[in-house]
Amino acid sequence: MDHIAGLCCVKCEKTFSREDVEYVCPECGDEGILDVIYDYDRIASDFNRENLAQDPRRNIWRYEKLLPIQPGTPHPPLSIGWTPLYRSLRLGKHFGLKSLYLKDDGRNPTASLKDRASAVGVCQALSQKRPMISTASTGNAASSLAGICASVGLECVIFVPESAPPAKISQLLVFGAKVFAVKGTYDDAFDLCLRACAEYGWYCRNTGYNPYMAEGKKTVSLEICEGLEFDVPDWILVSAGDGCITDGVGKGLWDLKSLGFIDRLPRIAAVQSNESAAIYNAWKAGTEKIEPVKATTLADSISVNMPRDGVKALRAVRKTNGVMVTVEDEAILSAGRLLGKMAGVFAEPAGAAPLAGMISLMDQGTITPEDRVALIVSGNGLKDAAGASRGAGEPVQVQPNGSDLESALQSVGLIS
């Protein structure tokens, strides 16, 4: 794969050839997260805006030249990526914004953005002829890996915290994964998965450990930019748990800038719940040293004690002159209801968090009404319907014979 120049450790900044490393830096261990370095000159020799526009593929493989995939590796048959980018006039108007875009990644095959990363993980396992792949996950990475594995007949082993929402666990079981509910947190599941992979030789998809996951996730920012014909927005807002999506968004923008597809970088705003704010705390303190927190947010997909990709996320935010912001869980839930009511997009709490972050940044004056803003809705609300609809109210009960229809309609103000 000559379009990859090497893998660079975020900690010691040494670069390794792809053949010499599997996951993390051999010298720094688990903290030595690796970043894939591309040879942009070589890529540019046969990849440009014109031939991209001619590519008929409506999925992430149209960006194959920017992905760490061995040529000839079969792609999973599921349709991954190329999710809708809506311009939401109603929601934009509500906030006095001229251009507000929603990237609805809940429209991926397993209903979250994680499919972008899992697809790359599955390709890696297939090209290395590994019989088994495993991941720890707050839920979506797992259900996504399980679905994509099912589509190609690869076995997978999943470790989730026992508190993962039931719909995500149902997905796993229906996709035929071997599922282990860990009596502990996501962080406990993460460590157990690493141990099992090392012991049994399984391919490990863990976020912030496997260097290729951010590469898959970056396709979301490639698509946002291509969807806007490379006339980039001023802001891209994303929710952050481990920080891998944030890192990926930054990486995609960097790729496009390096190839001359875009001439400036949109600013990334990464949003965390104030009840799971480890990356934000480091941003606020102006350091790269991430201290673990005790995460309690109800936005399960961004509930992380010790973010594994925090350093790369911080660098992505800083490199784009972006910001980090925290929001309360109540604000996340209310943003979710607003997305539903004003745009018809049903988001799980982590998918609604960027809107909550936007509201807060507009209040601070950081985002202004003239700005063009894109929000990444990273997961579908059906993933955690109970969480997502909290505070949305209850239906009005009526008798089938219509005896109380009038009073029922009056009770919600439909008639007087």
List contacts with ligand PLP (CB under 6 A).
112, 114, 140, 207, 239-246, 301-302, 348, 350-351, 378-379
Q: Indicate the residue type of 221.
A: S
Nearer to ligand PLP among residue 92 and residue 379 (C-beta):
379
Q: Please report the DSSP string for 288-320 in residue order.
A: S-PPP-----S-GGG--SS-TTHHHHHHHHHHT
Dihedral over Cα of 86, 87, 91, 97: its sign: positive
**Spatial CA neighbour of 362 closest among 102, 96, 104:** 96
211 binds Zn ion (CB under 5 A): no
CA distance 106 to 153: 24
Please tell me what DSSP assigns to residue 11: T
Task: Give me the least distance between CB of 369 and ligand PLP, in Å please.
Answer: 27
Contact between residue 42 and residue 26 where contact means Cβ atoms under 8 Å apart: no
CA distance 194 to 115: 21
Torsion, Cα of 192, 193, 199, 205 (10° steps): -160
Task: Give me the least distance between CB of 373 and ligand PLP, in Å please.
Answer: 18
Task: Give me the least distance between CB of 42 and ligand PLP, in Å please.
Answer: 28
Nearer to Zn ion among residue 21 and residue 362 (C-beta):
21
Q: Which does 216 bind (CB under 5 to 8 A by kind): Zn ion, ligand PLP, none?
A: none
Task: Give me the least distance between CB of 294 and ligand PLP, in Å please.
Answer: 17
The piece of 6-14, 148-156, 161-169, 237-245 that touches Zn ion (CB under 5 A) is 6-14
Q: Could you give the angle at the alpha carbon of 6 between the alpha carbons of 4 and 9, nearest 5°?
A: 140
The token pair at 262 is 């875009």
Task: Give me the least distance between CB of 347 and ligand PLP, in Å please.
Answer: 8
Q: Could you give the angle at the alpha carbon of 342 between the alpha carbons of 340 and 347, nearest 5°?
A: 25
Given 12, 53, 174, 405, the residue binding Zn ion (CB under 5 A):
12
Task: Give me the least distance between CB of 330 and ligand PLP, in Å please.
Answer: 18
25 binds Zn ion (CB under 5 A): yes
Given 32, 266, 322, 351, the residue binding Zn ion (CB under 5 A):
32
Task: Give me the least distance between CB of 10 and ligand PLP, in Å please.
Answer: 15
Q: Which does 215 bind (CB under 5 to 8 A by kind): ligand PLP, Zn ion, none?
A: none
Nearer to Zn ion among residue 80 and residue 311 (C-beta):
311
Which residue matches tokens 């915290």?
A: 161
Q: Please report the DSSP string for 357-405 in residue order.
A: HHHHHHHTTSS-TTSEEEEEE-BBGGGGHHHHTTTS--PPP--TT-TTH
Task: Give me the least distance between CB of 245 and ligand PLP, in Å please.
Answer: 4
Q: Which does 114 bind (CB under 5 to 8 A by kind): Zn ion, ligand PLP, none?
A: ligand PLP
Using only C-alpha atoms, the chain has a radius of gyration, in whole angstroms, of 21
Q: Which does 28 bind (CB under 5 to 8 A by kind): Zn ion, ligand PLP, none?
A: Zn ion
Q: Which does 78 bind (CB under 5 to 8 A by kind): ligand PLP, Zn ion, none?
A: none
Q: Which does 240 bind (CB under 5 to 8 A by kind): ligand PLP, Zn ion, none?
A: ligand PLP
Task: Give me the least distance between CB of 238 and Zn ion, in Å please.
Answer: 26
Q: Which does 351 bind (CB under 5 to 8 A by kind): Zn ion, ligand PLP, none?
A: ligand PLP
Q: Which does 12 bind (CB under 5 to 8 A by kind): Zn ion, ligand PLP, none?
A: Zn ion
Query: Residue 130 CA to chain centroid, in angstroms?
Result: 25
Q: Which does 273 bind (CB under 5 to 8 A by kind): ligand PLP, Zn ion, none?
A: none
In 108-249, which ranges are E strands? 132-136, 155-161, 178-182, 203-204, 235-239
CA distance 162 to 149: 22
Nearer to Zn ion among residue 34 and residue 122 (C-beta):
34
CA distance 357 to 19: 41
Given 9, 164, 313, 361, the residue binding Zn ion (CB under 5 A):
9
Which residues of this chain interact with Zn ion, rule CB under 5 A?
A: 9, 11-12, 25, 27-28, 32
